[in-house]
Structure formats: structure tokens, C-alpha cells
Structure 1
């Protein structure tokens, strides 16, 4: 998996890194048990501060995407990412609300919004089938 960061965007680097790792998992580029570089190695490889990588890794760990072992290092959650529970679904709805509100304000109708979401789902499913 190649990490590509946009240093010109307002989105924090640790968030970009976190999102790219999650996308790698969703696209099956990163599989359960696969190792990730150490914090120091990742920071060095992509040229960012190690505290930035550490913050991304800690959030991924809290959300169940990775495990951090003192001896084994950082690995993608061997048991797979936990399934969505009610708390996750509630959080998802809260996060989607501002995106939908913004889309409505910009005259994007429900069908177009759903088509956009469907296209993104298809991208992830297509990647899975191609590997």
C-alpha cells in the first residue's frame, strides 16, 4: 500500500493517514494480520513527524483496525474489524448529517447523493474483486 498525503489540504495529516489505512483494509490491500511499519519507520518513509503517525495509529487501535504489540509491532486486526454495533451506527448517522445537509444546500438531490455513495461502495467492492 502506498501512502499519499496532501500537505496543501486543511485535513490534518494524521487523519489522512488514518483514512488511507482504513481504505487499504476496505480494499483488501491490507488483510488481517498484515504488518504495518513501526511508527518511526512509517514517519521516516513518508517524511512526517513520528507523533503524527503515532496519533493515527492510536486512533486506529481505539477503533479496532489495528493491534500494537511490543514484540510483534503493528498489525492489522487479526480477527478483522469489529462489526458495526448500534453505537457505531449512531455515530455514522451523526457524521453523515452534515454531509447531507451540505449536499441539500448545494441542490444535490437524494438520488444523486445515493448514486455518489453507491459509486464509492462499488469502488471498494471492485478493488476487492480485482486482487
Structure 2
């Protein structure tokens, strides 16, 4: 795992470290049980204060990505189980972060369609699902044709709208 620090970035260094470790876990570069470099070693390698690395590790521990084993160091934690109380907290944090992202996107003039399209693209990249990658698939999932025109909303056999259609409708009603 290679961590790169951009000292010109507006993001604090500990956040940059945090995000890159999370990305390594998501990509499978780091797996549950893998040990991370010691705080002192990583700080020395990156040329940053050891308190900066310590803060990144502490945040990752508090968020459930790492476990600390005394003098043994930091290790990648096992994924949260759905029945676990921490998983419920993680789900709520996800909702809050998504809500903030949606609000920021809308405040900058973005549409629900562009947000959903970009979100789907990012999910495909992180989860590696080629079945949902590609522009034609993205626009049809969002209820748009290749020109960006709304398709007729499809209803399931029970007569209810699909989850994406309901989500799209919800954003449209909030935009107006």
C-alpha cells in the first residue's frame, strides 16, 4: 500500500491518510487482520508528525476500520455485521454523508440525475460490477434515454414504482 500526501491540499493530512487506508481496504489491498505500519514508521515514511498518523489511526479505529492491539499495533478490522449495533451507526453516518453530498450538489446547481449517475459510476468502480458500468446502462437505470429525456416510468407487477424511480421522483419533488 502506497500512501501519497498532498501538502498543497485543503484536506488535512490525517484525512488524506484516512481516506487512502479506507480505499485500500475497499479495493482489497488491505484485508481483515492485515497489520498497518507503526505510527512512527508511517510518519517517518511520509515525512509528517507522528501525532498526525496517530490521529488518522484513532479516527479509523473509532469508525470501525481498524482495531488496535496494544504494542502489536493497528490491524484491519473484520467487516461490520448487519446485526451489530455499530453497523446501524455506520448506516446512519452513511445517510448523513449522502444527505450532505446531495445538498452540496444541488446548491451548486447539479441535478438529481447527474448525482445519481455519478453515484452509480462510483459504486461500479469500487465494487467492480461491470454489469452496471457504461453510459447506456446508467441512463436507462435512471429513467433517461441517451438524450437525457425522461422515459415512461415503469411499474412493477404490484403497481409500485421501482426504488430508483421512487428516489428520482423524491429528488424531483424537492427540486421544484
SS at structure 2 position matched to 1:36: coil
Query: What is the number of equivalent residue pairs in this alignment?
Result: 125
Query: Which of structures 1 and 2 has the bigger CA Rg?
Result: 2
Once the 2 structures are TM-superposed, how far is the Cα of residue 89 of structure 1 from its aligned partner? 2.2
The equivalences for 1:1-131 within 5 A come to 1-77=1-77, 80-83=78-81, 85-126=87-128
Q: String of CA shifts for 1:50-95, please: whole Å, max 9, x gaps.
A: 0000001011111111111124222111xx2214633322222222
Structure with bigger RCO (C-alpha 8 Å, 6+ apart): 1
RMSD: 1.7
CA distance in 1: counterparts of 2:5 and 2:81, whole angstroms: 28
CA distance in 1: counterparts of 2:88 and 2:73, whole angstroms: 31
Gaps of 5+ in 2: 130-176
SS at structure 2 position matched to 1:9: coil
CA distance in 1: counterparts of 2:106 and 2:47, whole angstroms: 39
Q: TM-score, normalised by structure 1?
A: 0.86
